Amino acid sequence: MDREEHPFAQYVRIIGRGKNVGRSLTMDEAEAAMDMILAGEVRPEQLGAFLMLLRVKEETPEEVAGFVKAARKGFDIPADAPKVDLDWSSYAGKRRQLPWFLLAALALAQQGVKIFMHGAEGHTPGRLYTRETLEALSLPVASDFAEAAQQIKTANFAYLPLSVVSAKMHEIIELRPILGLRSPVHTISRMLNPFGAPNVLQGIFHPGYNAIHQGAAQLLGYERMAVFRGEGGEIERRPSKPLDVWTVENGEMGTFEWPALLPEPQQPKDDEMEIDRLVDVWKGDESDAYAIAAVTGTLALALHLMGRATDPADAQAQAEALWAERNREKLAA
């Protein structure tokens, strides 16, 4: 007896029919597929096949944009939420260097830039994640969008875990140890921009994803977006390396070349990863040339993205001045 085909089977078939017949999803198809996934209307075996087929062929900007459009429908953003200036995703975790980017974000918040940071943790062993770092430093982690909105109002900074932003997407990221590979959700989550900030900063590990993030941002209509290969895949400048930054501004795509900040050819590895060093560098008790260059270099990228600097040199000069002006008494926004 014939069995009726599952409604989601069409999306697996579209991308899985082989190199001669299969194709990528359109943005509308991707949105419809993710609608079903987030609604729990997909069987586990379908989800696994779908994710790994996407992983093998690599997701397209149209697919990422469609997935993001579907995910954004489920966000419970308070009606009185403040306007967020900068969306900052943190999904990779750090293993070679401490998350110096946190100091850059907090320094910006002290200057009145409203930042919403979101991320995941624990999906890859041996990495230090943002939530763990914030908690170790006695800095707050929001429990829902309402609390995040309040923290942004009062301190210009909030961090919300993906498990709260989208429980289903967090569940999919947690499949990495089972599937053995990262899934497209790692890309999708970075692009969510839940509060609709006009400035979206992106850090990736694999350079080939620059064009995917750039194209998806253009399709989503993001006002300004910058993506680059960051340290460990986070939004953090590798100061010993020259940098290509891929941008979207008012619908136009572009690239910027940034020179290296330090002469060392190799990136150092921090074997200890002692979180307290973040406080020491913030207070000025420790002078670490690499750490300070990573912080100011990341600040410069954010300032340039927000249109506050004309070129990399101007951005770096402003970043160094902003870092020097920080309130060293307390590591907080």
How confident is the model over 298-308, as pLDDT tens digits?
999 999 999 99
DSSP letters spanning 11-63: HHHHHHS-TTT--PPPHHHHHHHHHHHHTT-S-HHHHHHHHHHHHHH---HHH
Q: How far is CA 116 from the centre of its chain?
A: 11
Tell me the pLDDT band of 181, cut-offs 50, 70 and 90: confident
In eight-state DSSP terms, residue 160 is: E
Instruction: Report pLDDT digits (tens) over 199-256.
Output: 999 999 988 899 999 999 999 999 999 999 999 999 999 999 999 999 999 999 999 9
| pLDDT for 2 | 59
Q: pLDDT tens across 156-168, in order?
A: 999 999 999 999 9
Is residue 294 very low, low, confident or very high in pLDDT (cuts 50, 70, 90)? very high
- Identity of residue 185: V
Burial of 82 per CB tally in 10 Å (0-12, 13-18, 19+)? middle
The reported pLDDT for the residue numbered 91 is 96
Is pLDDT above 80 for 266? no
The model carries a pTM of: 0.95
H or E segment to which residue 244 belongs: strand 243-249
User: How far from 302 is each of 80, 298, 306, CA to CA, in Å?
Assistant: 26, 6, 6
φ and ψ at residue 214, rounded to 5 degrees: -60, -45
Mean pLDDT along residues 158-185: 93
**Contact 237/298 with Cβ under 8 angstroms?**
yes
> Could you state, in order of their start, the residue ranges of all structural domains in the chain?
9-72, 86-324
Alpha carbons within 13 angstroms on the beta-carbon side of residue 115 total 28
At residue 80, the pLDDT reads: 96
Sheet holding 199-204, edge to edge: 157-161, 115-119, 86-90, 199-204, 224-229, 243-249, 252-258
Task: Return the sign of the alpha-carbon dihedral for residues 314, 320, 323, 325.
Answer: negative
User: Which CATH number applies to 9-72: 1.25.40.10, 1.20.970.10, 1.10.287.130, 3.30.420.40?
Assistant: 1.20.970.10
Q: Is residue 198's pLDDT more than 90?
A: yes
Tokens of 170: 């967090």
Q: Inform me whether the pLDDT recorded for 96 exceeds 70.
A: yes
CATH class of 86-324: alpha beta
Question: Which of 129, 138, 191, 134 is CA-nearest to residue 159?
Answer: 134
pLDDT band at residue 333 under the 50/70/90 scheme:
low
Taking every pair of C-alpha atoms in the chain, what is the biggest distance, in angstroms? 75
Average of pLDDT values for 261-278? Answer: 89
Average pLDDT, the chain: 95
H-type alpha helices, 140-288? 145-155, 162-165, 167-173, 176-179, 185-190, 210-220, 276-283
Length in residues, the chain: 333
Contact by Cβ (8 Å): 326, 149? no
**Exposed/middle/buried for residue 106 (C-beta within 10 Å: 0-12, 13-18, 19+):** buried
Please give the pLDDT value at position 89. 98
Question: Over the stretch 4-32, which tens digit does the pLDDT of each residue have?
Answer: 999 999 999 999 998 788 899 999 999 99
